[in-house]
């Protein structure tokens, strides 16, 4: 089984994403006149049970924004969402996630995201545009001591403006192709985190194992370098997802005898 965010969440929730795909092959689904739909659950799908999944080694830290490896998104992305994402069927088409609709100004210098209402973080806090602003302020202009590989993708982002609790604008200093920008927003590493989580940890989450997300799974426990256990989020905004009740994400070296033995013995699926 591959370990990118798109494939992983397609398997367990039909709610995935993944690393940035080349803008030249990216297809966009929405415009100012269209409302992109999230993935809807299949009513005939089998539900319940535990998925035991092996991912490439353990992450060296827990800050997904500062990462560029599958070690982080393979283990952590089930707990988080992004503004936009890619359709799990083709891995290219941009569809909605926490933003249910977006508008792009005719001159390409303003992106407006309309956010879902009623979304909760795992600790019960409301998700608002303030969390998106805090997340992207950090990605676009990282604080001292924080290095985020995707910062250059947002080099032309000027002001990030909260219009109301469920609407936010990204005002550009110059236009870039919309396929490029939407692909950047849909990167699986650009997870939305709570403003409070960043404030309480000095803007650095490297050593924070469990900061609340809005994703389909919630943290239960973790045994360092061995397994990360997560459970279904009963309050997930995309009702009917995920399909499975529990994840056991094992850290195994890729293409190793240990991984092969774990699969053959039934330790992982």
Confidence of residue 237 (pLDDT cuts 50, 70, 90): very high
Q: Quick one: which H or E segment has residue 181?
A: helix 178-185
Contacts within 8 Å (CB) and 24+ apart, 72-77: 72/189, 73/4, 73/5, 73/18, 73/19, 73/188, 73/189, 74/3, 74/4, 74/5, 74/8, 74/249, 75/228, 75/249, 75/251, 76/191, 76/228, 77/5, 77/8, 77/9, 77/17, 77/188, 77/191, 77/215
Tens of pLDDT along 96-129?
999 999 999 999 999 999 999 999 999 999 999 9
Answer whether residue 24 shows pLDDT above 50.
no
**Mean pLDDT computed over 194-198:** 98
For the domain with range 5-29+37-265, which CATH number is right: 3.40.190.10, 3.20.140.10, 3.30.365.10, 3.30.930.10? 3.40.190.10
Contacts within 8 Å (CB) and 24+ apart, 123-129: 123/194, 123/212, 125/194, 125/196, 125/212, 127/98, 127/192, 127/214, 128/165, 128/166, 129/162, 129/163, 129/164, 129/165, 129/166, 129/167, 129/168
Sorted by where each begins, the domain ranges of the chain are: 5-29+37-265
Residue that wins the pLDDT comparison between 38 and 114? 114
- Give one word for 241, left, alpha or beta, with left for phi > 0 and alpha for psi -120 to 50: beta
Which residue, chain included where needed, has tokens 């939407």?
Answer: 182
What is the predicted pLDDT for the residue at 180? Answer: 97
Residue that wins the pLDDT comparison between 258 and 54? 54
- Give one word for 37, left, alpha or beta, with left for phi > 0 and alpha for psi -120 to 50: beta
255 vs 253: CA distance, rounded Å:
7
What is the predicted pLDDT for the residue at 250? Answer: 87
Answer whether residue 10 shows pLDDT above 50.
no
Answer whether residue 183 shows pLDDT above 80.
yes
Quote the percentage of the chain above a pLDDT of 70. Answer: 80
Report the DSSP pairing between strands 99-104 and 94-96. unpaired
Residue 230: closest CA among 240, 242, 243, 245: 245
Cis upstream peptide for 242 (omega within 30°): yes
Q: What is the chain's mean pLDDT, rounded?
A: 85
What is the predicted pLDDT for the residue at 264? Answer: 59
Residue 111: closest CA among 37, 209, 177: 177
Answer whether residue 195 shows pLDDT above 50.
yes
Please check whether residue 13 is in contact with residue 79, taking contact to mean a CB–CB distance below 8 angstroms: no
Tens of pLDDT along 202-212?
999 999 999 99
Among the listed ranges 3-7, 83-87, 101-105, 263-267, which one has the minimum average pLDDT value? 3-7
């Amino acid at each position: 089984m591959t370990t990118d965010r798109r494939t992983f969440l397609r398997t367990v929730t039909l709610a995935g994403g993944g690393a940035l795909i080349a803008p030249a092959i990216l297809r966009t689904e929405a415009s100012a006149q269209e409302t992109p739909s999230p993935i809807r659950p299949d009513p005939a799908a089998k539900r319940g049970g535990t998925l035991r999944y092996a991912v490439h080694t353990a992450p060296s830290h827990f800050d997904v924004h500062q990462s560029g490896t599958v070690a982080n998104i393979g283990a952590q992305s089930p707990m988080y969402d992004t503004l936009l994402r890619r359709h799990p069927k083709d891995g290219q088409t941009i569809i909605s996630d926490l933003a249910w609709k977006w508008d792009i100004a005719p001159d390409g210098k303003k992106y407006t995201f309309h956010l879902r209402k009623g979304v909760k973080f795992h600790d019960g806090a409301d998700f608002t545009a303030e969390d998106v602003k805090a997340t992207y302020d950090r990605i676009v202009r990282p604080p001292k001591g924080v290095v985020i590989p995707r910062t250059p993708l947002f080099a032309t982002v000027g002001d990030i403006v909260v219009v109301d609790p469920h609407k936010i604008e990204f005002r550009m200093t110059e236009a870039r192709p919309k396929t490029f920008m939407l692909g950047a927003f849909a990167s699986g590493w650009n997870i939305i985190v709570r403003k409070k989580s960043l404030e309480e940890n000095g803007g650095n989450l490297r050593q924070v194992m469990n900061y609340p997300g809005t994703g389909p799974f919630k943290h239960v426990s973790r045994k360092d370098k061995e397994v990360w256990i997560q459970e279904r989020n009963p309050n997930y905004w995309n009702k009917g997802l995920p399909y499975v009740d529990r994840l056991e994400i094992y850290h195994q070296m890729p293409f190793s005898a240990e991984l092969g033995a774990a699969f053959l013995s039934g330790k992982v699926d």
